Structure 1
Amino acid sequence: MKSSGAKSPQAERLMALVAIAFLLFCPPLIIVVDRLPSFNIGWLPLYLFCAWATVIGLAAWLMERRAGR
């Protein structure tokens, strides 16, 4: 049985992923992306789609590595 203070590397990676997701979707960063100069391109939907796809991809990669063991 593991001690309550020790965390597995997998749990640490998932906590890092949650921290990255919070940073990607924090309101100040979203406001900065929303105010970028646009040349008939809406940067906010593109940013949100790419950030969300990145978080989902990283989560799938981390969970697949775990299942492969």
Structure 2
Amino acid sequence: MSSSLTTQRLVALFCCGWLLLNFPLLGLWDVDATVLGVPLFPAALMTLWALLIVTVAWLMERHTAADEGD
């Protein structure tokens, strides 16, 4: 995978994460509900954050694996 393609994907992921963790969309989770006894807002916030971290790790590992194969 080319370095510029990985850079473009990381920038797109950053923009998606910024939108997901910013007010208008984050406000959707601010309701009086619980998930396994945890309020929905912190549960959704931590889940989105973890998914972003996993996606970045996957992209970077995929990039290094492609470099080793060349």
Which TM-score applies when normalising by structure 1? 0.77
**Higher strand fraction (1 or 2):** 2
Q: Which runs of 4+ in 1 moved over 4 A?
A: none
* Aligned positions of 1:1-69 closer than 5 A: 8-34=4-30, 36-38=31-33, 41-69=38-66
The number of aligned residues is 62
Question: What is the TM-score of this pair, normalised by structure 2?
Answer: 0.76
**Gap runs ≥5 in structure 1:** 1-6
What is the Cα deviation at residue 32 of structure 1?
A: 2.0
Instruction: State the structure with more CA Rg.
Output: 1
Structure 2 stretches of 5 or more lacking a match? none
Instruction: State the percentage of identical aligned residues.
Output: 34
